[in-house]
């Protein structure tokens, strides 16, 4: 199995990392890369979004620090100049995440082997499920597209998969909770990274096995206290004031339901769009496996119900994204493997089966390459263009007339001397949310706060006239979408086009 992990690691590091060249979500940059960069290079400018301001504190520093550590080590060993000559900041963070994705892949195979090896049989002998699981792990388009992007969801998925494997590996130790220490501490780690991960573990703690008072005192309580201490101590130190991020996060997103600020989807979105899109063509063997639910082992039935339960709970929240249910993808891959094996056994012709397999591979590769190389590529292309055009020794001013956080900030220009101006889009007025001063134009009333991004796109020419941006600042580059360029051509005679 060590050879499998090494192969997966090389695949994620040197193929997956370099093929993903497109923009997925701003959180990749503003909730991790920019924050980690600011930790390692505190003397340099960086942009921290409103979530990291001391009056809000709904983001924890544990995840960024995990990525800041290898960045700090490389900076100290190689020097900043050589480091950025060898690798771009974006590639560096993707390579760190590639290690975690390789761990996710490996433990998905391990978890599947444990669960499927218990009593799932084909005809007269037990199957070796490793090749089937490996096949689906490597060809999963969403793991390829999202897995190496340094989201907290990606690390959450890794920790959740590892914890599930440890749980089922030691499940027969029913009276010795000490055998579960790896499961408990990995689960606690995942909850600190993404507090909503707690919903995954509630059924395991309440339904799967009775815990004695001794179990709670010797196993569960120390784990809870340890992670609470790490979370509170680390965030209190980084924010400079007492901070309990997990409570703030749950209060903001769950209790107050403020996540709707970033979009609202119908309650059924995860069932009708989210999960089907993530699974892609693998939804066919997944649904086929569902037909065999009554033949599942007890553990497979329970895990399948956990999958449905998690999607249902997450459906309660108004704001939904594909990556929020990333932690259940490894679970889905196990059932996809069952469905694929069942379809293979029912196939009447080996030739037809080979044709179907070839089509499956081709279609999944096409989807991978499209989302990795084509879809929403312009945002990252403009970063590359600017890095090529901006001189190394000259201070350069860049204005981004773009929607909220559609372009990365200072970390992506680590080797340059730049001043970056973004349209402010903090949902609350009226304070600055970047570590370096910027311009703001606030319009608010008792019911709705209108940020700069909204004001600009409602009336681009009027916004530029009222703020007098070009009279107040001397910009070397102005970045906007092409459809706006024609409107502003007379006012903006410099720019980088995004098609």
The model's confidence at residue 208, banded by pLDDT at 50, 70 and 90, is low
Which of these ranges, 63-67, 229-233, 432-436, has the smallest mean pLDDT?
432-436
β-sheet bridge partners, residue 480: 401, 497
Confidence check: pLDDT of 429 > 60: no
Structure tokens that stand for 200 in this block: 């995954």
Q: What is the per-residue pLDDT for 178?
A: 60
Q: What is the per-residue pLDDT for 179?
A: 62
pLDDT tens-digit series, residues 177-196: 566 677 888 999 999 999 89
Q: What is the per-residue pLDDT for 70?
A: 96
Query: Residue 7: enclosing H or E segment and its boundaries?
Result: helix 2-11
β-sheet bridge partners, residue 450: 443
Confidence check: pLDDT of 334 > 80: yes
Confidence check: pLDDT of 172 > 60: yes
Structure tokens that stand for 173 in this block: 């130790």
Q: What average pLDDT does the segment 164-185 reach?
A: 74
Q: What is the per-residue pLDDT for 1?
A: 61
Mean pLDDT, the chain, rounded, equals 85
pLDDT tens-digit series, residues 96-105: 999 999 999 9
Could you give phi then psi for residue 122, rounded to 5 degrees? -125, 120
The DSSP 8-state label assigned to residue 294 in this structure reads G
pLDDT tens-digit series, residues 362-393: 999 999 999 999 998 988 999 999 999 998 88
The model's confidence at residue 432, banded by pLDDT at 50, 70 and 90, is very low
pLDDT tens-digit series, residues 398-414: 988 888 888 899 999 98
Q: What is the per-residue pLDDT for 134?
A: 94
Confidence check: pLDDT of 428 > 80: no
Query: Token pair 């793991």 is at which residue?
Result: 143
Per residue in 129-168, is it b (16+ CB within 10 Å) or e — as a string? Answer: bbebbbbbbbbbbbbbbbbbbbbbbbbbbbbbbbbbbbbb
Q: Which residue has the higher pLDDT, 447 or 78?
A: 78
The model's confidence at residue 439, banded by pLDDT at 50, 70 and 90, is very low
pLDDT tens-digit series, residues 124-160: 346 788 999 999 999 999 999 999 999 999 999 999 9
Q: Which residue has the higher pLDDT, 258 or 445?
A: 258
Cα 408 to the chain's mean position, in Å?
16
Confidence check: pLDDT of 229 > 70: yes
Q: What is the per-residue pLDDT for 476?
A: 86
Query: Residue 94: enclosing H or E segment and its boundaries?
Result: helix 89-116
Rounded CA-CA distance 370/377 in Å is 10
Confidence check: pLDDT of 443 > 50: no
- pTM, two decimal places: 0.89
Could you give phi then psi for residue 48, rounded to 5 degrees? -110, 125
DSSP three-state, residue 111: helix
Confidence check: pLDDT of 457 > 80: yes
Confidence check: pLDDT of 497 > 70: no
Q: What is the DSSP string of 336-351?
A: HHHHHHHHHHH-S-HH
Q: What is the per-residue pLDDT for 348?
A: 75
Which residues touch 318 (CB under 8 Å, ≥6 apart)? 257, 259, 260, 264, 265
CA distances from 31 to 152, 193, 333 (A): 8, 12, 28
Which residues touch 423 (CB under 8 Å, ≥6 apart)? 400, 401, 402, 403, 404, 451, 452, 453, 456
DSSP three-state, residue 407: coil
Q: What is the per-residue pLDDT for 247?
A: 86
Which of these ranges, 239-253, 272-286, 479-493, has the smallest mean pLDDT?
479-493
């Amino acid at each position: 199995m060590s050879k499998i992990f090494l192969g997966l690691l090389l695949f994620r590091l040197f193929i997956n990392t370099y093929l993903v060249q497109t923009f997925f979500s701003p959180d990749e940059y503003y909730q991790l890369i920019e924050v980690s960069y600011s930790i390692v290079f505190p003397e340099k400018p960086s942009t921290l979004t409103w979530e990291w301001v001391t009056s809000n504190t709904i983001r924890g520093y544990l995840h960024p620090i995990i990525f800041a550590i290898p960045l700090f080590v490389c900076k100290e060993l190689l020097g900043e100049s050589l480091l950025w000559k060898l690798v771009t900041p974006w590639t560096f963070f993707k390579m760190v995440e590639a290690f975690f994705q390789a761990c996710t892949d490996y433990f998905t195979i391990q978890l599947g082997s444990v669960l499927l090896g218990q009593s799932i049989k084909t005809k007269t002998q037990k199957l070796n499920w490793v090749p089937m699981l490996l096949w689906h792990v490597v060809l999963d388009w969403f793991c390829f597209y999202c897995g190496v992007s340094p989201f907290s969801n990606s690390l959450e998925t890794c920790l959740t998969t590892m914890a599930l494997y440890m749980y089922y590996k030691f499940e027969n130790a029913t009276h010795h909770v000490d055998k579960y220490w790896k499961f408990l501490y990995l689960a606690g780690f995942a909850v600190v990274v993404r507090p909503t991960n707690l919903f995954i573990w509630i059924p395991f703690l309440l339904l799967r096995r009775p815990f004695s008072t001794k179990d709670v005192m010797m196993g569960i309580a120390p784990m809870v206290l340890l992670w609470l201490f790490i979370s509170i101590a680390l965030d209190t130190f980084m924010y400079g004031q007492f901070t309990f991020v997990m409570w703030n996060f749950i209060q903001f997103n769950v209790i107050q339901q403020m996540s709707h600020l970033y979009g609202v989807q119908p309650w059924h979105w995860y069932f009708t769009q989210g999960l089907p899109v993530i699974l892609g063509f693998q939804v066919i063997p997944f649904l086929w496996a569902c037909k065999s639910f009554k033949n599942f082992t007890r553990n497979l039935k329970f895990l399948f119900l956990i999958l449905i339960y998690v999607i249902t709970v997450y459906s309660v929240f108004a704001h939904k994204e594909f990556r929020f249910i990333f932690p259940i993808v490894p679970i889905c891959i196990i059932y996809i493997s069952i469905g694929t094996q069942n379809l293979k056994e029912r196939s009447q012709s080996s030739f037809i089966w080979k044709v179907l397999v070839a089509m499956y591979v081709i279609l999944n590769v096409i989807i991978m390459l499209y989302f990795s190389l084509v879809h929403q590529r312009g945002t990252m292309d403009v970063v590359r263009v600017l890095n090529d055009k901006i001189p190394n020794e000259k201070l350069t001013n860049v204005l981004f007339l773009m929607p909220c956080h559609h372009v990365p900030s200072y970390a992506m220009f680590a080797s340059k001397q730049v001043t970056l101006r973004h349209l402010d889009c903090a949902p609350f007025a009226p304070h600055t949310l970047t570590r370096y001063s910027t311009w703001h134009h606030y319009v608010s009333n008792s019911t709705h706060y209108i940020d700069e991004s909204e004001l600009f796109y409602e009336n681009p020419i009027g916004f530029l006239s009222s703020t007098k941006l070009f009279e107040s600042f001397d910009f070397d580059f102005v970045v906007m979408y092409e459809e706006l360029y024609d409107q502003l051509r007379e006012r903006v005679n410099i720019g980088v086009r995004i098609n």
